[in-house]
């Protein structure tokens, strides 16, 4: 590669890193909610609130919901317990994790709302789910970040903030939370996982509508990595196309595909991030011999609009955004349990609005062009 191309690539990377910062998303989106100042987080759930709510749900469920900590594997960097709630009697194990990023608050509320539904509803669809599946909720993966209202956790020995969602790699596990949750995952061996996030502000391609919800796969479909892992390239697309259709039925129309967007150029990059937790789940990561048979399963993620550390989350819209997340989760669990997701054409994924694909945004080789092989 000659020097001028190298310089151009570095410049592109620098520009994209800027674009990836949500502040730039916000600044480039004058139609979105105000981003002045920080959202008052007193209206969102604290760690203590979550522990209390879990106890209340367990109590009122009359034995249907179990709540426990992962203390036998360790605690967070600051010494907080990581909680799990378990509900259902079926053989399919579904993993739902929220707030691995501590400033992504409403994901925890959506997960707890769904847990409440499973704990208390006698609805036929709910009973079907609980008969066929057992659900494992981790409503607050990153309690330290949640309390600090930061994306990462703080490593106690260095004081540095660490993104726990880049830490499931062979040379990772720098944060205590990562190993706690990984050990549990490797022992439990789930069949399917959903990971809940918030994103900065963006617009649905070709419209003036602010995206309210994005559907994502952390190893891009048809990208450099996923097609070589079992049939996850199809099933993950089927799952998200299924959710997309269901959400349209509920009247949620500002849904698109998760991408890193260059708003000025109106192009998007699909992510292909191997260190992401749900990516490592799909790749069957075997860290320290803890997953010797390379257990793996499909996994997808949802991104709700806005986050609290940028102040781009309005209290007025919190209920709407939580409900949207709740409905999407509930519908995907149902579609998975009943097998309805397998009736969807995987290529229907392409009907979810997205920016023209400019390449794959990776955590191992910068921007990988579409169609490139050998990665
Ligand atoms: Zn996130």
Asked if 84 and 67 touch (Cβ cutoff 8 Å), the reply is yes
Distance, in Å, from the CA atom of 175 to the CA atom of 17, rounded to the nearest integer, reads: 24
pLDDT of residue 237: 98
Distance, in Å, from the CA atom of 326 to the CA atom of 243, rounded to the nearest integer, reads: 12
pLDDT of residue 309: 62
Helix residue ranges per DSSP H, 31-169: 47-60, 106-120, 124-132, 143-148
Nearest alpha carbon to residue 281 among 142, 95, 133: 95
Question: 161 alpha carbon to ligand 1 midpoint, in Å?
Answer: 14
Sign of the CA dihedral with 17 first, then 261, 299, and 100 last: positive
Question: 4 alpha carbon to ligand 1 midpoint, in Å?
Answer: 35
Q: Is 287 helix (H, G, I), strand (E, B) or coil?
A: coil
Question: 22 alpha carbon to ligand 1 midpoint, in Å?
Answer: 11
Regions in the chain scoring below 70 on pLDDT: 1-41, 307-316, 372-375
pLDDT of residue 249: 87
Asked if 216 and 328 touch (Cβ cutoff 8 Å), the reply is no
CA 266-244-221 angle, to 5 degrees, is 60
pLDDT of residue 44: 87
Largest CA-CA distance found in the chain, in angstroms, rounded: 68
Distances (CA, A) of 288 to 183, 186, 198: 10, 11, 31
Whole-model pTM: value is 0.88
Which of 303, 310, 340, 343 is flagged as catalytic? Answer: 303
Q: Is 321 helix (H, G, I), strand (E, B) or coil?
A: helix
Question: 5 alpha carbon to ligand 1 midpoint, in Å?
Answer: 32
Question: 302 alpha carbon to ligand 1 midpoint, in Å?
Answer: 9
Question: 1 alpha carbon to ligand 1 midpoint, in Å?
Answer: 35
The strand pairing partners of 97, in sequence order, are 138, 195
pLDDT of residue 149: 92
Distance, in Å, from the CA atom of 360 to the CA atom of 3, rounded to the nearest integer, reads: 22
Nearest alpha carbon to residue 78 among 150, 140, 138, 142: 142
Question: 28 alpha carbon to ligand 1 midpoint, in Å?
Answer: 20
Asked if 97 and 143 touch (Cβ cutoff 8 Å), the reply is no
Q: Which two tokens stand for residue 223?
A: 């990208």
Length of the chain: 375
Give backbone dihedrals phi and psi of 2, rounded to 5 degrees, phi first. -80, 165
Clarify whether 340 is annotated catalytic: no
pLDDT of residue 83: 98
Sign of the CA dihedral with 271 first, then 276, 282, and 285 last: positive
Question: 40 alpha carbon to ligand 1 midpoint, in Å?
Answer: 19
E strands present in 167-229? 192-199, 213-216
The residues, ordered by sequence, that sit 6+ positions from 233 with a Cβ below 8 Å of its Cβ are: 221, 222, 226, 227, 346
Q: Which CATH architecture has domain 65-368?
A: 3-Layer(aba) Sandwich (3.40)
Question: 107 alpha carbon to ligand 1 midpoint, in Å?
Answer: 10
The label of the residue with tokens 């709910």 reads 126
Question: 195 alpha carbon to ligand 1 midpoint, in Å?
Answer: 9
pLDDT, tens digit (0-9, with 9 covering 90-100), for 127-155: 999 999 999 999 999 999 999 999 999 99
């Amino acid at each position: 590669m000659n020097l001028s191309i190298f310089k151009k690539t570095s410049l592109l990377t620098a520009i994209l890193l800027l674009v990836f910062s949500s502040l730039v998303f916000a600044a480039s989106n004058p139609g979105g909610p105000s981003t002045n100042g920080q959202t008052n987080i007193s209206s969102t759930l604290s760690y203590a609130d979550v522990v209390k709510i879990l106890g209340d749900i367990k109590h009122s469920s009359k034995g249907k919901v179990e709540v426990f900590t992962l203390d036998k594997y360790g605690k967070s960097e600051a010494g907080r317990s990581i909680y799990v709630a378990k509900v259902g009697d079926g053989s399919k194990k579904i993993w739902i994790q929220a707030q691995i990023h501590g400033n992504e608050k409403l994901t925890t509320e959506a997960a707890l709302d769904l847990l409440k539904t499973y704990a208390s509803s006698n609805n036929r669809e709910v009973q079907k789910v609980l008969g066929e599946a057992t659900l494992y909720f981790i409503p607050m993966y990153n309690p330290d970040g949640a309390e600090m209202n930061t994306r990462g956790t703080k490593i106690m020995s260095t004081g540095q903030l660490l993104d726990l969602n880049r830490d499931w790699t062979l040379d990772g596990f720098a944060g205590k939370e990562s190993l706690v949750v990984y050990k549990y995952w490797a022992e439990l061996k789930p069949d399917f996982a959903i990971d809940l996030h918030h994103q900065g502000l963006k617009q649905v391609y070709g419209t003036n509508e602010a995206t309210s919800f994005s559907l994502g796969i952390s190893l891009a479909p048809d990208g450099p990595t996923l097609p070589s892992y079992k049939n996850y390239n199809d099933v993950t697309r089927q799952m998200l196309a299924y959710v997309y259709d269901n959400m349209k039925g509920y009247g949620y129309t500002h849904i698109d595909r998760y991408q890193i967007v260059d708003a000025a150029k109106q192009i998007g990059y699909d992510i292909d991030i191997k260190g992401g937790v749900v990516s490592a789940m799909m790749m069957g990561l075997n860290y320290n011999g803890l997953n010797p048979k390379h257990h793996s399963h499909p996994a997808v993620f949802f991104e709700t609009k806005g986050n609290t550390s940028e102040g781009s989350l309005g209290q007025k819209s919190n209920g709407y955004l939580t409900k949207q997340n709740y409905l999407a989760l509930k519908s995907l669990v149902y579609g998975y349990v009943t097998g309805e997701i397998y009736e969807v054409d995987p290529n229907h994924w392409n009907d979810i609005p997205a920016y023209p694909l400019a390449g794959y945004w990776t955590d191992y080789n910068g921007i990988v062009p579409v169609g490139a092989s050998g990665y």
